[in-house]
Chains A and B, each alone.
Chain A
Amino acid sequence: DTGVSQNPRHKITKRGQNVTFRCDPISEHNRLYWYRQTLGQGPEFLTYFQNEAQLEKSRLLSDRFSAERPKGSFSTLEIQRTEQGDSAMYLCASSLAGSGSEGMGTQYFGPGTRLTVL
């Protein structure tokens, strides 16, 4: 079990540029979540996948944001035309659904990607 990994760990970009982040979940986990965390706040939900299906999107996820999880493995989060307000830590988490009460809802987080938009 190697845990959830995210790349890159840090990204600095200029306003208006596109950025893409990658998340590799724990290998047997079928659910994958994206959260955004700004300074002094708790993580806020963006979207989640069960296998390759995107099941829920937060209203925080504007049309500049898109997430994919091809083949139900790794996931990418793309932000187009970045704005300074997009600067945040983007966290990925994974979990195993349908494994009984002990497994349900337990999300394991990656180290995050810190985005700075200049």
Chain B
Amino acid sequence: AQSVTQLGSHVSVSEGALVLLRCNYSSSVPPYLFWYVQYPNQGLQLLLKYTSAATLVKGINGFEAEFKKSETSFHLTKPSAHMSDAAEYFCAVTSNSGYSTLTFGKGTMLLVSP
């Protein structure tokens, strides 16, 4: 069984500040991990993914995430927040068998103030 925990349903930052969204996973098999972003009334857009290659993964819009097996974490960061980053972010896990569905966390709403 797999699960994802996202700490903090809401995170508030000022424009230009560091963004850190936390994700911890539980998986009995080596995982693939994903971050998706969702803007209001829209579907999910893939930000980045970890598929057992490099542990530091760079994604779109300046985001990156680091896979830490010892901490079972996959936190999402961005050095400098932009107003357009305000959205809901979801961490998801699947097994690396390629035949599994995604299990999502409950999401973290990122609020960016000027």
Contacts and interface: CB of A to CB of B under 8 A. Distances in A.
Interface stretch (B13-21, B64-72, B78-86, B98-106): B98-106
A106 B96 contact: no
Contacts of A107: 46, 102
Interface residues of B, number: 29
Interface stretch (A38-46, A63-71, A76-84): A38-46
Interface residues of A, number: 29
Contact of B98 (A6, A55, A104): A104
A88 B42 CA distance: 13
A43 B51 CA distance: 21
- Max chain A CB contacts within 10 Å: which of B9, B45, B102? B102
Contacts of B42: 111-112
Given A106-B46, A112-B43, A41 B106 contact: yes
B45 to A, nearest CB: 7
A83 B53 CA distance: 45
Q: Is the interface of B mostly helix, strand, loop or mixed?
A: loop
A41 B105 CA distance: 8
Contact of A43 (B41, B44, B94, B98): B44
Interface in A82-118: 91, 93, 97-98, 101-102, 104-112, 114
B95 to A, nearest CB: 8
B102 A97 contact: no
Contacts of B46: 106-108
Contacts of A110: 43
Interface of A: 4, 6, 33, 35, 40-45, 48, 55-56, 91, 93, 97-98, 101-102, 104-112, 114
